[in-house]
């Protein structure tokens, strides 16, 4: 089939199978741009897993001390109670760190969803997506700082060893 190469003629000369949805290139671009936040989401999941392990160990230690407390000699109980107070602080720091990490992960998920919604609806959500990224980073920073504080607390506090 011979086609005229003017702009109007090219449009009528294309076969229906050659039509490309105008959204497809934008979707491909969004998929390419969403790869970095997905890796960030993987890193956040790893941080949450590490925090979860720390939380489990602190809770196990607290349960162990609480079970031993009634049978301890009277002179050892204040030291055990002091360690229980430190463990309670550690658990609180880890809990808040997990909350901040989950919040960061949610902002990353919203960022990815916002990028796709912006491409589908053809609305500029760049400021909203940028703000979500900033909030995700702030929540991740808070999570890591709380994690670091819990580690310092765990390392600097004496551990009660019953005699």
Rounded to an integer, the average pLDDT of 61-65 is 94
Burial of 122 (0-12, 13-18, 19+ CB in 10 A): exposed
Give the span between the Cα atoms of 30 and 115, in whole angstroms: 6
**The dihedral formed by the CA atoms of 138, 141, 142 and 144, expressed in degrees to the nearest 10:** 160
How does pLDDT run across 1-55, given as a tens digit for each residue? 455 555 454 445 554 555 555 566 666 677 777 788 899 999 999 999 999 999 9
pTM score of the predicted model:
0.78
76 compared with 98, residue with greater pLDDT: 98
pLDDT greater than 60 at residue 98? yes
Give the span between the Cα atoms of 68 and 37, in whole angstroms: 47
pLDDT of residue 83: 93
Rounded to an integer, the average pLDDT of 108-137 is 90
**The dihedral formed by the CA atoms of 20, 24, 29 and 30, expressed in degrees to the nearest 10:** 170
Provide the strand spans (E) within 32-71. none
Rounded to an integer, the average pLDDT of 124-131 is 90
Percent of the chain at pLDDT > 90 equals 58
Percent of the chain at pLDDT > 70 equals 80
Asked whether 41 and 109 are in contact (CB, 8 A), the reply is yes
Give the span between the Cα atoms of 115 and 33, in whole angstroms: 9
Give the span between the Cα atoms of 45 and 34, in whole angstroms: 17
How does pLDDT run across 68-84, given as a tens digit for each residue? 999 999 998 899 999 99
């Amino acid at each position: 089939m011979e086609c005229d190469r003017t702009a109007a003629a090219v449009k009528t000369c294309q076969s229906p199978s050659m039509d490309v949805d105008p959204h497809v290139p934008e979707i491909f671009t969004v998929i390419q741009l969403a790869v970095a936040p997905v890796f960030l989401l993987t890193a956040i999941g790893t941080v949450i897993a590490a925090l979860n392990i720390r939380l489990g160990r602190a809770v196990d230690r607290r349960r162990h001390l609480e079970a031993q407390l009634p049978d301890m000699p009277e002179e050892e109980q204040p030291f055990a109670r002091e360690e229980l107070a430190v463990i309670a602080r550690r658990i609180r720091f880890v809990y808040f760190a997990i909350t901040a990490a989950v919040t960061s992960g949610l902002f990353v998920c919203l960022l990815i969803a916002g990028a796709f919604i912006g491409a589908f609806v053809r609305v500029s959500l760049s400021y909203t997506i940028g703000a979500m990224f900033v909030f995700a980073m702030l929540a991740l920073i808070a999570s890591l700082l709380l994690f670091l504080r819990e580690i310092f607390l765990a390392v600097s506090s004496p551990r009660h060893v019953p005699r």
